[in-house]
Amino acid sequence: MRTWKTYLLLTAALTLATSPAKADLLFWSTQAKPVEETQKMRDNVLGGFGETVDYQASDGGPWLTRIQAETQAGSGTIAVLGGLHGDFTSISANLADLGAVDLGGTAVNPNFMTLGKLGSGEQKYLPWMQATYIMAANKKALPYLPAGADLNALTYDQLIAWSKAVAEATGGPKFGFPAGPKGLKHRFFQGYLLPSFAASTVTKFRSAEAEQAWTKFKELWSYTNPASTGYGFLQEQLLTEEVWIAFDHTARLADAFNQKPDDFVAFPAPAGPAGRGFMPVVAGIAIPSTAPDMEKAKALVAYMLKPETQIATLRATNFFPVVDVTLPDDMPASVKASGAAIAAMTGAADAKPALLPMGLGEAGGKFNQVYVDTFERIVLANQDVRTVLDSQAEALRAIMKETGAPCWAPDKPSEGACPVD
């Protein structure tokens, strides 16, 4: 009796057999899936490569199944793979080492290069493009920065002092946080707050460092606009001046910069004792070991990291470059402002990348809820920090055991389920 896995592999084999024969290089990707983005990738990004490239975007399941089918067959048609960091983790052994690819002197973000090794001694993928979350502020708030503070290198203590000074000067709290039902608050706790204090998202969830992190956030919350519990996209509140300082995803701040480019500044998230925690949505580019023409595939990988190609990719996908590049003047105001902030944050000496959760499957929602519940109990209900962390750690531990998901950065790699100490 054929299993579902067998049917998937048969489907993949059929796909291989019916792939366009005239395409010199097949670029098989989980990114740029909307039709307009796929077409822009083909025409505006890959059109200048000099070889015919067939860019095909796929959902994660079929993407993985086709790679597995080609690996099992020992040969294939896929020249280059594009995907998020987590897409590559299960196929690491079947990826070529890209450490010797000649990038022509292009400076690639070193933190992302490290991620691309997937815990091995080889460069399993090269970073391709990124999105993330940043801070934004009305320029009216700048005079209230603490003495000696560098906007591009703030600490949590300085952010708290700044928010306090603005609140006292304006007669009310002006820090804004996406704590509403549609807000991305859980990503802040997972990718920014805990990594900045504990260098961890999971293992040190209930540590003394995590307790310090939540205590600091409670202090910041006292200078946060209480309407934040209803905020989803902070661009709206920045434009109405309900808030002067805000944290959110770059896409959820864009309208503020585009509508009033002279009124706002973008800057990196703050740093804690363990570093400047931030959550990059990192997409990489890799070559399967079964690639039909390894040299052409490596040439395409190098082409994708050229500064001019990175800019074309930004225009096509709204994902930002991972290389040192000067953005053209005709970019939207939101891109120019966000791009500078992202470069400063990801390239900071104290940068502490914290990846999106991986390996959780359908339990991803429950995982996120642990952090939301922790926030609501500690910050909104004013419950004891230690008591809440001990309680929520049990819920987190149960999820990790249920899924068996190993640790991801910034936690150290684990054998089996990521431990919750």
pTM listed for this prediction: 0.79
Mean pLDDT over 223-243 rounds to: 96
Span 6-61, pLDDT tens digits: 434 444 444 444 444 445 899 999 999 989 899 999 999 999 999 999 999 998 88
How would residue 3 be classed by pLDDT, with cut points 50, 70 and 90? very low
* pLDDT score recorded for residue 2: 41
Mean pLDDT over 330-356 rounds to: 91
Q: CB neighbours of 399 closer than 8 A, spacing ≥ 6?
A: 360, 363, 366, 367, 370
Rounded to the nearest angstrom, the gap between the alpha carbon of residue 410 and the centroid of all alpha carbons in its chain is 13
- Which contiguous run of DSSP H or E holds residue 167? helix 156-170
* pLDDT score recorded for residue 309: 97
* pLDDT score recorded for residue 361: 77
* pLDDT score recorded for residue 273: 98
Residue 189: which of 373, 399, 401, 380 has the closest Cα?
373
Span 375-416, pLDDT tens digits: 999 999 999 999 999 999 999 999 999 999 999 999 998 999
Assess contact for 237 and 229: CB atoms under 8 A: no
* pLDDT score recorded for residue 1: 37
* pLDDT score recorded for residue 251: 83
Mean pLDDT over 330-345 rounds to: 91
* pLDDT score recorded for residue 362: 81
Mean of pLDDT over the chain: 92
* pLDDT score recorded for residue 265: 97
Mean pLDDT over 64-70 rounds to: 93
**Which has more pLDDT, 332 or 207?**
207
Span 132-185, pLDDT tens digits: 999 999 999 999 999 999 999 999 999 999 999 999 999 999 999 999 999 999
- 168: tokens are 């006292």
Assess contact for 134 and 341: CB atoms under 8 A: yes
Q: Which residues pair with 54 in a beta bridge?
A: 26
